Amino acid sequence: MAGRRGGYLARMGTPEITLHRGDITTAEVDAVVNAANSGLLGGGGVDGAIHRAGGPEILEACRELRRTTLPDGLPTGQAVATTAGRLPARWVIHTVGPVYAKSEDRSELLASAYRESLRVADEVGARTVAFPAVSAGVYGWPLDDAARIAVTTVRITESAVREARFILFSDQVFDAFARAAASSG
């Protein structure tokens, strides 16, 4: 399968998954995925770190989206790209993971956040994409399950992205992703 981008045909396939321990704001990739909230105007966790390191251009681009195409914000499970400001990356792909709930299975929304991020990466022509552990912080998703959904979803999603680089902020999160990657083959 092939996708047309910028006048040439990009080779589609499934991304190679790599795992790294570190800070996503320093990642030298085409696009960095942000675990944002629907408002898109910043927050704590990785969202706060990305806005702090990338500077005001990212917030300005998010405000512009709210003024134009996303007046009600970005729905859970969707993704949208902006400039990456001063980050080494070229784009930030903002996605909104679901808040974990015991009473309701929201796994499909978490899988959707990863799939939609890859779809937006294809739209902008990104070939290397860094992901954090979406929903596994403030949004409370149990770590092993968040890692399993992340790894299994990215592994089977057709995209022109060559590398999906998970950048995990602590040893605990890294180890959960390593276990998930090992058991999903």
Summarize as ranges the residues that interact with ligand AR6 (CB under 6 A). Answer: 23-25, 35-37, 43-47, 49, 97, 132-139, 167, 169-170, 173
Nearest distance from C-beta of residue 60 to ligand AR6, angstroms: 17
Nearest distance from C-beta of residue 49 to ligand AR6, angstroms: 4
Q: Which is nearer to ligand AR6, 15 or 137 (CB)?
A: 137
Nearest distance from C-beta of residue 111 to ligand AR6, angstroms: 14
Nearest distance from C-beta of residue 157 to ligand AR6, angstroms: 19
Bridging pattern class, strands 31-35 and 91-95: parallel
Are the C-beta atoms of 51 and 59 separated by less than 8 Å?
yes
Question: What are the backbone angles phi and psi of residue 105, rounded to the nearest 5°?
Answer: -85, 110
Q: Which residues pair with 168 in a beta bridge?
A: 21
Q: Which is nearer to ligand AR6, 25 or 157 (CB)?
A: 25
Q: Which is nearer to ligand AR6, 141 or 160 (CB)?
A: 141
Calpha distance 4→131 (Å, rounded):
24
Nearest distance from C-beta of residue 22 to ligand AR6, angstroms: 7
DSSP string, 155-183: HH--BS--EEEEEESSHHHHHHHHHHHHH
The contacts of residue 101 (CB under 8 Å, 6+ apart) are none
Calpha distance 178→20 (Å, rounded):
10
Calpha distance 177→157 (Å, rounded):
18
Q: Which amino acid is at 54?
A: G
Q: Which is nearer to ligand AR6, 26 or 183 (CB)?
A: 26
Among 23, 30, 47, 105, the active-site one is: 47
Q: Which is nearer to ligand AR6, 35 or 84 (CB)?
A: 35
Concerning whether 145 is annotated as a catalytic residue, the answer is no
Bridging pattern class, strands 128-131 and 163-168: parallel
Which residues are designated catalytic? 47
